[in-house]
Amino acid sequence: MTVTYQFPENFWWGSAASATQTEGSNNGVKGKDIWDQWFATEPNRFFEGVGPGVTSDFYNRYKEDIKNMKEIGHNTFRMSISWARLIPGGRGDVNQEAVTFYNQVIDELLANDIEPFVNLFHFDMPFELQELGGWENREVINDYVNYARTAFDLFGDRIKTWFTFNEPIVPVEGGYLYDFHYPNIVDAKRAIQVAYHTMIAHAKAVEAYHKDYNGKIGIVLNLTPSYPRSQNPADLKASHICDLFFNRSFLDPAVKGEYPEDLIKLLEEHGHLPVTEPGDQHLLKANTVDLLGVNYYQPRRVKAKDSLPNPYSPFMPDWFFDNYEMPGRKMNPYRGWEIYEKGIYDIMMNLKQSYGNIESFISENGMGVQNEERFLNNGRIEDDYRIDFIKEHLKWLHKAIEEGCNVKGYHLWTFMDNWSWMNAYKNRYGFFSVDLKTQTRTAKKSASWFAEVSQQNGFND
Ligand code: BG6
């Protein structure tokens, strides 16, 4: 039986990308960010030794890319501004060449009827500010707010949808807990301070935006439902703590303007509360988001710990739970991530039930595949697995909408294959493949499929 999945009028069909992953840091005038620095000192940490210098050369090829977006029916596209490009060094003078570049990209998108959504920070701290302590240093918050204000003033006449941060928990995990981002520190106390200051920077940017502009501003969070192994109270407790650390540490202050009581209690018990200032609580409460971007790739499954943590090992969120491999789980074998399409529905229902049904959209969802050339046929990659992946997620999203969730769109990660931090070009995610030698873009099968979905505002299956 064929079922029709029709989406609400004006649904946002598009994709997301970030500055560091696409522009090419060797292109144009640009200050150094932590990725340039880390690659210069430890190139071996990056897959096949590939760094951020060239990436997809979007800096020079944005016109062709935007034309391709238009062709596959994008009505929206999320990009990010590189702070180190707009303001080299992170504070001080604005780089006029960067202003011209971002103006051209924005104008080109608008001329093609694609609404640009702009994100201000996607893992890319200017190196000089990192040297001052990055998000550990409260002064850096002021630099960020100045940068945000500069961006609003330069582009706010045309940009009506802004995001302060993409996945702010990732630099915390990568840079301060699990050693996959610069500055490669392993220290939960410092991680928690970084997370807290990021949230204060976020709230101050929201405040600055609302003061002078009347578009929407939000945050993009990677929400990862924490499914317990069982209903055993020990497993439930493990999943509750996991949810506090990895979802609610940003979701609650962003949407409700306050941290969960249980999280505060737990950090207090372990002597890990961050340093705060008077006025912070009010700031958070008064500056909640207008819109939430939800990145969803995989669920998290957890169970109670099998053994007590080593008391000599550093304090970690993982002191409170073990990861759980559910027998029979469906996997993306290439990326090593579980595929659980219903997760997208569970997230949306949770936002409806516990977060005032805040306006949201899927800001990233996607499937990374290694060695995609295997699937080449007559010059194009036949990525039926990606089509299925998107379709199955869209079905659950559709159900959430039918049940009243306030979700406005779906963006794939990502438009074209791009450079992905330590993984560089290992996993390919795009609608378009990119030949790294020639920079030729070629539409994959999923691109044509998505063009039809966008045109029909839905699909039959
Ligand atoms: C998302 C990030 O979490 O995952 C992107 O926002 C990133 O920046 C994407 O590229 C895919 O990551 P990976 O490690 O599979 O290449």
Q: Which atom of ligand 1 is nearest to the CA of 123?
A: 8
From first to last of the 461 residues of the chain, give the pLDDT tens digit.
999 999 999 999 999 999 999 999 999 999 999 999 999 999 999 999 999 999 999 999 999 999 999 999 999 999 999 999 999 999 999 999 999 999 999 999 999 999 999 999 999 999 999 999 999 999 999 999 999 999 999 999 999 999 999 999 999 999 999 999 999 999 999 999 999 999 999 999 999 999 999 999 999 999 999 999 999 999 999 999 999 999 999 999 999 999 999 999 999 999 999 999 999 999 999 999 999 999 999 999 999 999 999 989 999 999 999 999 999 999 999 999 999 999 999 999 999 999 999 999 999 999 999 999 999 999 999 999 999 999 999 999 999 999 999 999 999 999 999 999 999 999 999 999 999 999 999 999 999 999 999 999 999 99
Please state, in angstroms and rounded to a whole number, the distance separating the CA atoms of residues 277 and 176: 22
What tens digit of pLDDT does each residue of 312-357 get? 999 999 999 999 999 999 999 999 999 999 999 999 999 999 999 9
335 lines ligand 1 (CB under 6 A): yes
Quote the pLDDT of residue 245.
98
Please state, in angstroms and rounded to a whole number, the distance separating the CA atoms of residues 367 and 295: 12
CATH of the domain at 255: 3.20.20.80
Please state, in angstroms and rounded to a whole number, the distance separating the CA atoms of residues 349 and 354: 8
Please name which of 126, 122, 92, 98 lies closest in space to residue 29, comparing C-alpha atoms.
98
How close is the Cα of 67 to the center of ligand 1, in Å? 24
Tokens of residue 83, six digits: 């702070």
409 lines ligand 1 (CB under 6 A): no
Please name which of 261, 247, 242, 225 lies closest in space to residue 318, comparing C-alpha atoms.
242
Quote the pLDDT of residue 134.
99
How close is the Cα of 415 to the center of ligand 1, in Å? 13
Tell me the whole-structure pTM to 2 decimals.
0.98
198 lines ligand 1 (CB under 6 A): no
413 lines ligand 1 (CB under 6 A): yes
Residue nearest (by alpha carbon) to ligand 1 atom 2? 167
Please name which of 422, 414, 427, 423 lies closest in space to residue 366, comparing C-alpha atoms.
414
Q: Which atom of ligand 1 is nearest to the CA of 368?
A: 15
Quote the pLDDT of residue 17.
98
**Which of 18, 170, 224, 364 to mutate for ligand 1's pocket (most ligand atoms within 8 Å of CB)?**
364
Q: Which residues pair with 457 in a beta bridge?
A: none
Residue 25 has φ and ψ, to the nearest 5°, of -75, -15
298 lines ligand 1 (CB under 6 A): no
Tokens of residue 119, six digits: 């994100």
Report the chain's terminal Cα–Cα distance, integer Å. 8
Q: Which atom of ligand 1 is nearest to the CA of 413?
A: 9
427 lines ligand 1 (CB under 6 A): yes
Residue nearest (by alpha carbon) to ligand 1 atom 10? 420
How close is the Cα of 24 to the center of ligand 1, in Å? 17
Question: Residue length, the chain?
Answer: 461
Please state, in angstroms and rounded to a whole number, the distance separating the CA atoms of residues 317 and 347: 21
- Total tally of structural domains belonging to the chain: 1
Please state, in angstroms and rounded to a whole number, the distance separating the CA atoms of residues 251 and 180: 23
Quote the pLDDT of residue 216.
98
Average pLDDT in the chain: 98
368 lines ligand 1 (CB under 6 A): yes
Catalytic sites, residue numbers = 167, 364
420 lines ligand 1 (CB under 6 A): yes
- The answer to whether 412 touches 390, Cβ cutoff 8 Å, is yes
Degrees to nearest 5, angle at CA 225 with 172 and 320:
60
**Which of 420, 422, 425 to mutate for ligand 1's pocket (most ligand atoms within 8 Å of CB)?**
420
What tens digit of pLDDT does each residue of 220-275 get? 999 999 999 999 999 999 999 999 999 999 999 999 999 999 999 999 999 999 99
Radius of gyration of the chain (CA): 21
Please list, in sequence order, all residues whose beta carbon lies within 8 angstroms of the beta carbon of residue 419, skipping any fewer than 6 positions away: 20, 21, 22, 50, 52, 55, 56, 425
CB count within 10 Å of CB 448 equals 15
**Which of 413, 414, 416 to mutate for ligand 1's pocket (most ligand atoms within 8 Å of CB)?**
413
Domain hosting 221: range is 5-459
Please state, in angstroms and rounded to a whole number, the distance separating the CA atoms of residues 294 and 269: 31
CB count within 10 Å of CB 35 equals 26
18 lines ligand 1 (CB under 6 A): yes
Quote the pLDDT of residue 250.
99
